[in-house]
Every structure is written in structure tokens, then in C-alpha cells.
Amino acid sequence: MRVLFTTWAPGAHLVPMVPLARALLGAGHQVRVAVPSGCAAAVARAGLVPVRICALPPAVVRAPEAARRPRGIWPADWPVRPAALTPEQHGVLRALGDRQVRIAEAMAQGLVAFARCWQPELVVHDASAYAGTVAAGALGVPAVGQLWGSAAVLRVDRQRLEGPPLPGYARLMRRYGADPEREPDLWLDPCPPSLALPSRARRLPVRFVPYDGPSPWETPSPYEARRALTRPVRPAAASNGRRGPGGPGAPGPVRVCAAWDDAGGPPDAVRAALRAAEARGVEVVRVGSAAERRPPAGPLHRVLPGCRALLHQGAGAAVLAAAMAGVPQLVVAPRLEQQLNGARLARAGAGTYLPAAALDGTRRGAGAAGARLALDLFALLEQPSYAAAAHALRREALGMPGPDEAAGAVTRLVGPAI
């Protein structure tokens, strides 16, 4: 069977699809990954065959300003309570949907042309690659949507979350002879059930499986990765005589991971919180902060098992990596999806959460916000309930079906002859 995968971005969009693609290859199926030219190298490094279908201009990809740092307070379960959102908040969601429609428009011609030539029997696309549904509809084959670990709404191409498709998306579907109301036949969801929101969509839980290829964070040399995991860790009782988190007799080294994938590194308040932790004898391992003076420690899923907490922005891949490691999480989230992930973690008791907009950018404000973050971080280290909830989340995540079961499920969509 031929299976066509597609996404519009590497990193957190590509990574969740790699285990399924490899499982299908192992079962004897043919796999191609159709992507914009900027993603082709990442696909090849993952051991898959890329097909370049277009180039995505930066102006098309750039997220709307209102979505990068949303204003106001959003309900913790906003995807399932659209009536609770203000007109301004619905406008933010529409802007996000319009952006994904623009990306789909840029991809659709090349994707559909290749699909008609190669004739796949199944299309698998990442949740935000709407062009995948367009191609499946144009060919009349099943479509599978791959989620990346967020509890967020499956798609924002519909007005008010539950209304008709956005006009641009409906026009795009009709242009290629597809039904605008069509949705993926199945969603693959790596989000542990206790973090997920209810949905009427047909979902298959699939265990998150990290791999050592390109990740959402820069991966250093093997030497740097080994160095981060094996260098001596200062004990909880620091050299200045003060006890580290956990108090006297706290078992094991106290190591915290800080993962930040913004080019500029974490904001000042986060840096201040990490300095406060180091002053109390905590070892801080940094992952993906290109602006930091020290080199990053590299693949997150390999660093986390030696850590007692993770401080990050709330991206789905990081949430899942920490869930698989049983590590409590402190989320400082700028974007809507990340804020939702943080809120769900806090609800499950496996972490705490703060919107990035709550951090004051001034020097004085950064110090106060950093002190607040430091208190939250120390709470994760000192209060046993967070570790207990994180371990419960790990057991839940490990109990989900793996990629081989997902491969069997998606092939059955095509028919009993496969």
C-alpha cells in the first residue's frame, strides 16, 4: 500500500509522524513525505523519502501577532466551550485558521499533483496541514490527522469552532473537487487521556515515541549530550551552607531541565528563576536555548530521566517527553495551545502554569516575576504530590497503544484487502 504523509513544518510537526511512518515501512508499505522545500532535509535525516511540493514564503508561515501573545484570560477548556469566548477571542482563532488556510493554499497544487501521479491509498497529515485533507478529498481516499500532543482544538478552520468552514478553506476544497465539510476519518492522538479534552471526533490514542533525529530543539554533538548527563551534580546542600530543595536528607541529585526553543532564549524572569535555583544548589540543564552562553544539553527525552522538574513553554512535544519521563512541569506559555497544555497539566496535578503575558518585561518586574517562578519551581521539587501525579501520568502514557498498533488501524481504513 502507498501512504502519503504531509506536513508544512519540521520539528514538532514532523516528529510525531516519524514513528508511524517507520512502522508502516517495517510492515512493507511504501511511504513518501510531501513537504515544502524547507522541510525536506529534516525528512531525509529521519530516514524517510521527502517529496518537495512547494516553497513557503515567511509571510505565509508567520503566525498572527494576536495569537503569539494573546490578551486577556481564556477559559482553561475554551476548545469545548466556544460560547464562553469573547468576539475578540473568536477573532484570534479566525486569524489562526486563516493562516493555516494560506499555508494549505500554498501547498495544495503541488501536493495534489504529486498525489494524482503517485496514487496513494491513504493520506496522513499533521493536524494543522489542511492541504492533506484537500489531497485526500481530491483522490477520494481516507485521511488520517496526526496530533502532536496538544489538548487544543483539532482544527481552527471553522468559524466559532463548531460552525461552517472558513470561506477560504471551503473554496480550496471545492477547487479540487472535495467536500468542504469533510474531516479526517481518524485522528491519532498522543495526548494522555487525563490531559485530553472531550471530542466527538474519532480518535485513536497512540503512545508518544521520541527519536534521536532532528527534534524541536537543537541537538548538540554526542559529546555534549554525554557531558550533560554525566557531569558531577552539586548536592542539595550547596557550598554556601544552605540546603537545596527537598531539605536535609533529600534523596539523589537535584537537577532541573530548562527547555526553550525561542531564538532569543528564555525571558529575563525565567533566567532569574533559574539563577535562584542554582543559588540553592540545583543543577540546571539547558536544552535548546541558543542564546545561552553554555551549550544546550540536547535531546530532551534523553536528558529528562535524570531531572526532577522541567521548566518550558508548554509545547506538545515537550509536554509528552516529560510525561513519558514522569517529570513534573512548570509551564510559562506564550501561545494559546501552550497555555492550554499548561492549564491541563495543572488540572492533572502534574505541574504548574503561568501565561507568559503575566511576566513584566521591565528589570524590576522581571525580578519579581522570577521570584514567583522560583517559588513555583521549588514547589515542584519539594511537594510530593507533583511527583506522584507526574508518575501517574507516565503510567498512563506508557499504557497507550504504540506505532505498530496505529499502523494496523490506519491501514484498516482502506479496506479488508490490505
Confidence of residue 214 (pLDDT cuts 50, 70, 90): very low
Q: Name the pTM for this structure.
A: 0.85
Q: Give the whole-angstrom CA distance, residue 227 versus residue 253.
A: 16
CA torsion angle for 155, 156, 160, 163 (degrees, to 10)?
Answer: -60
Neighbours of 352 (CB within 10 A): 21
Nearest alpha carbon to residue 130 among 151, 154, 152: 154
Compute the distance between CA of residue 182 and CA of residue 376 in angstroms, rounded to an integer: 44
| Cβ neighbourhood burial of 353 (10 Å; 0-12, 13-18, 19+) | buried
Residue 335 is given by DSSP the state S
> Would you say residue 308 has pLDDT above 90?
yes
Which whole-number Å values give the CA distances from 57 to 10, 102, 321, in the listed order? 15, 11, 31
The larger pLDDT score, comparing residue 80 to residue 320, is at 320
pLDDT band at 297 (very low <50, low <70, confident <90, very high): low
Question: Read out DSSP for 40-63?
Answer: HHHHHHTT--EEEEE---HHHHSP
- Ranking 47-61, 201-215, 353-367 by mean pLDDT, the lowest is 353-367
- Band (pLDDT 50/70/90 cuts) for residue 213 is low
Question: What local confidence, expressed as pLDDT, does residue 148 receive?
Answer: 83
More confident of the two residues 317 and 236: 317
Extract the runs of DSSP E, i.e. beta strands, from 179-232. 186-189, 203-205
Residue percentage of the chain with pLDDT more than 90: 55
Confidence of residue 65 (pLDDT cuts 50, 70, 90): confident
* pLDDT computed for residue 267 by the predictor: 85
Residue 222 has pLDDT above 50, yes or no: no
Nearest to 116 by CA among 27, 2, 18, 20: 2
pLDDT at 151 (0 to 100): 64
C-alpha cell of 333? 506559555
